[in-house]
A and B are shown apart, each in its own frame.
Chain A
Amino acid sequence: MKQPDHLVIKNLCFSRNERLLFDNLCFEFERGKITAILGPSGIGKTTLLKLIGGQLPVDSGEIIFNGLAIHNCSEKQLYDARKKMGMLFQSGALFNELSVFENVAFPLREHCKLDESLLSILVLMKLEAVGLRGAKDLKPMELSGGMARRVALARAIALDPEMILYDEPFTGQDPISMNVLLNLVKQLNKTLGLTSIIVSHDVNEVLSIADNVYVLADKKIIAHGPADLLLEQTDNPLLQQFLHGQSDGPVPFHFQAEDFVVDLQKVNK
Chain B
Amino acid sequence: MISAYLRFIGRFTLAFTQTVGRSGLMLWRTLWGRPHGKLLPLTIVQIFQLGILSLPIILTAGLFIGMVLSLQGYNVLVDYAAEESLGSMVALSLLRELGPVVTALLFAGRAGSALTAEIGLMQSTEQLASMEMMAVSPLKRVIAPRFLAGIVTLPILTLFFNVIAIWGGYLIGVSWKGVDGGAYWSVMQGSVEYLPDVFNGIIKSVVFAVMIAWVALYNGYYVVPNAQGISKATTQTVVVSSLLVLAMDFVLTVFMFGS
Contacts and interface: CB of A to CB of B under 8 A. Distances in A.
B133 A85 contact: yes
A53 B132 contact: yes
Nearest to B36: A110
A55 B136 contact: no
A82 B135 contact: yes
Contacts of B137: 79
B193 interface: no
Interface residues of B, number: 12
Q: Would you call the interface of chain A mostly helix, strand, loop, or mixed?
A: mixed
Interface in B97-142: 125-127, 129-130, 132-137, 141
A219 interface: no
A159 B134 contact: yes
A87 B133 CA distance: 7
B7 to A, nearest CB: 17
Contact of B125 (A50, A80, A91): A91
A136 interface: no
A106 B129 contact: no
A12 B126 CA distance: 24
A93 B141 CA distance: 16
Contacts of A53: 132-133
A140 B76 CA distance: 59
B133 A110 contact: no
Contacts of A111: 135
Query: Which of A79, A93, A111 has most B Cβ within 10 Å?
Result: A93
Contacts of A90: 126
B135 A79 contact: yes
Interface in A93-110: 93-96, 106-107, 110
B129 A89 contact: yes
B130 A93 contact: yes
Contact of A110 (B125, B126, B130, B134): B134
Contact of A82 (B125, B126, B127, B132): B132
A83 interface: yes
Interface of B: 125-127, 129-130, 132-137, 141
Given A79-B135, A87-B130, 12 more contacts: A50-B129, A53-B133, A82-B132, A82-B135, A83-B135, A93-B125, A93-B126, A93-B129, A94-B127, A107-B135, A110-B135, A110-B136
Interface of A: 50, 53, 55, 79-80, 82-83, 85-87, 89-91, 93-96, 106-107, 110-111, 152, 155, 159
4 closest Cβ contacts across the A-B interface? A93-B130, A93-B126, A82-B135, A79-B135
28 contacts: A50-B129, A53-B133, A55-B129, A55-B132, A79-B135, A79-B137, A82-B134, A82-B135, A87-B133, A89-B126, A89-B129, A89-B130, A90-B126, A91-B125, A91-B126, A93-B125, A93-B126, A93-B127, A93-B129, A94-B127, A95-B127, A96-B125, A96-B127, A107-B136, A110-B136, A111-B135, A152-B130, A159-B134
